[in-house]
Amino acid sequence: MHMLEPAVLDQLQTAARRAADLAYAPYSRFRVGAAVLAGGQIFTGANIENASYGLTVCAERTAVFQAVLAGHTRIEAVAVACVDAPDGTNPGSLMPCGACRQVLAEFSDPEIQVLVDRVRSFTLAELLPQPFKLDSF
């Protein structure tokens, strides 16, 4: 795994925590923020809930989509922060969901760092060892 400088990781984590403050989470009251590094820039996102739960969008995806809309289709690193999770929360509850892992796989390499606040840093390959890929037909 290509390790990023600690200062860059700190910037990503701080941006993810700040983004969580912008989350729209009136139903779960579980605000999540994410920050992705793409093209040397940090793009943030937060979870946005909907009364029809299936329409809710996660923080990681909103951050990735921000980067893509700015013209960056290669994500270099990701940080995720669940600011409302109490201390001692099961680490599994702080991880990116499967849909977010798949979106990250679409726009990054398997070896990117995924920094999960209060857990540790993973590679995307550790989190999603066999992503879905469409073959060119």
Q: Please state at what angle helix 6-20 crosses helix 59-69, rounded to 10 degrees.
A: 110
Q: What is the pLDDT of residue 39?
A: 96
| Domain annotation for the chain: domains and CATH numbers | 6-127 (3.40.140.10)
Tens of pLDDT along the chain (137 residues) come to 567 899 999 999 999 999 999 999 999 999 999 999 999 999 999 999 999 999 999 999 999 999 999 999 999 999 999 999 999 999 999 999 999 999 999 999 999 999 999 999 999 999 999 999 998 76
For residues 21 and 93, give the distance between their C-alpha atoms in angstroms, rounded to a whole number. Answer: 19
Q: Is 49 an active-site residue?
A: no
Out of 49, 60, 111, 126, which one is annotated catalytic?
60
53 burial (CB, 10 Å; 0-12 / 13-18 / 19+) is exposed
Phi–psi pair at 65, nearest 5 degrees: -65, -35
Q: What is the pLDDT of residue 1?
A: 55
Q: What is the pLDDT of residue 95?
A: 97
pTM: 0.94
